[in-house]
Amino acid sequence: MHDHEHDHAHEAAHAPIVERDALTYYERRVQAIQALLIEKGVVTADEVRRTIEAMDARSPAMGAKIVARVWVDPDFRARLLADTKAAVAEMGVDTGSLIKIAAVENTESLHNVVVCTLCSCYPRALLGLPPDWYKSLNYRSRVVKDPRGVLEEFGLDLDSDVEVRVYDSTADMRYLVIPARPAGTEGMSEEQLAELVTRDSMIGVTKARKPNR
Amino acid sequence: MPQVHDRGGWPGAGPINQAGHDLSMWEQRTDALLVLLSSPTKQLIRVDELRRAIESLPPDAYEKLSYYERWISAIETLLVEKGVLTKEEIDRKADEGKVTSNE
Amino acid sequence: MDTRFQPGDTVRVRVDSPPHHFRTPVYIQGKVGRVAAIHGEFRNPETLAYGGDGLPRQPLYLVHFAQSDVWGQYDAATRDTLFIDIYEPWLEPVEH
């Protein structure tokens, strides 16, 4: 559709290089589309800026707070597993932008891992933007068919009697993995526990961090 | 034979590159434009339409383009399809020396 | 909500490749699994994708499969499973 290669060749032939020639075809398309949408009053520059700020404000720290609360508060855990959206709203997440979400809990005998084989569906409201590898064709291709091989690549070697459960989120549900609470964390504060909860552990390709002892 | 976006079990997939990268400004803008255009107040593009437009890319483009290159291609397709912008004005704007890239 | 299937029901995913956008991966088509949960009713992505209203809403099910039933070469000694969200028109009953 777009003559990408030709475009580059064309640019390269037209020295001297000025700043805009360093932009790729797609970078220029984005700039042009944004500029036109602003000219026509479809969006404002301020809206774009605020949307980017809101995106930056969302990070795995929110998911980590939720997981730590699950670990210390059995009542919250029960509420989260019963109605995830309502429970995360208690934690100050803006659930207006959230479509349906379910929490799935890892245990000693069950390990959940999430993928979207058709695109890259991800619980952005809780974890921010997905990492590059989550969106990669290789991850999407392999984790449904060889989850143990993929988890090994991420450093996770699971016993054969552990059930590995892959969630392929093909529709409007988003899945948040609640990693198992690591051993040796008795007496740690909720804030300290949250620091053990990594983004990858909430996708399910790793476990939560072990505490430094 | 699955369509190009339907990757589950796709043969020949190799190791997963776990390195990430910080989004550049144009990638953030692409993401923000989709969020805005699909917001309840604007409702110009639905996420399902974005997926459909991405899946309609030629298979070799789908495989070759980066994530946000696919997105901006699809956003362009949909804005043109809906008559919000024309391809000609996007072409012209993209070729201009000074686009209003900064707010 | 009126649903054709209930949790615990055995179902087969239809084999189809309609000439429009759909959300049922090919790898799961034709496979037999069981309904784990009913997520509720959702607007139909197959018409939303073309600017339609997505109505009538479709029941969406969480369906689970033994991995060894999905992939010919999967290690049958494991208890590994695959859970996937499937819209009702893509499921058909399996007679016992």
Taking alpha carbons only, the member of A139, C77, A127, A148 closest to residue B10 is A139
pLDDT digits (tens, 9 = 90+) for A122-177: 999 999 999 999 999 999 999 999 999 999 999 999 999 999 999 999 998 999 99
Q: C51 contacts in B (CB within 8 Å)?
A: 46, 49, 82
Produce one character per residue of C82-93: b if its CB has 16 or more CB atoms within 10 Å, e if not: bbbbbbbebbee
Cis peptide before A16 (omega within 30 of 0): yes
B33: pLDDT confidence band, cut at 50, 70 and 90?
very high
Check residues A29 and A6 and name the one with the higher pLDDT.
A29
Assigned token pair, A155: 């450093």
pTM: 0.92
- Subunits close to B (at least 3 CB pairs below 8 A): A, C
- pLDDT of B99 > 90? The answer is no
Mean pLDDT over each residue of chain A, to the nearest integer: 90
pLDDT digits (tens, 9 = 90+) for C47-96: 999 999 999 999 999 999 999 999 999 998 999 999 999 999 999 999 86
Beta bridge partners of C58: C42
Distance CA B38, CA B43 (A): 5
Distance CA A4, CA A8 (A): 7
Query: What average pLDDT does the segment B45-53 reach?
Result: 97
Q: Is C25 close to A147, i.e. CB distance below 8 A?
A: no
By CB neighbour count within 10 A (0-12 exposed, 13-18 middle, 19+ buried), where does A155 fall? exposed
Q: C84 contacts in A (CB within 8 Å)?
A: 167-168, 170
- Per the CB < 8 A criterion, the answer to whether B12 and C35 are in contact is no
Nearest by CB to C42, which of A165, A168, A172? Answer: A172
- Per the CB < 8 A criterion, the answer to whether B31 and B66 are in contact is no
**What's at A116, amino acid-wise?**
C
Catalytic residue among A59, A97, A109, A121: A121
Q: Is A121 a catalytic site residue?
A: yes
Query: What average pLDDT does the segment B23-48 reach?
Result: 96
pLDDT digits (tens, 9 = 90+) for A177-201: 999 999 999 999 999 999 999 999 9
> What is the pLDDT at residue B103?
40
What DSSP element (H or E) covers A168? strand A163-168
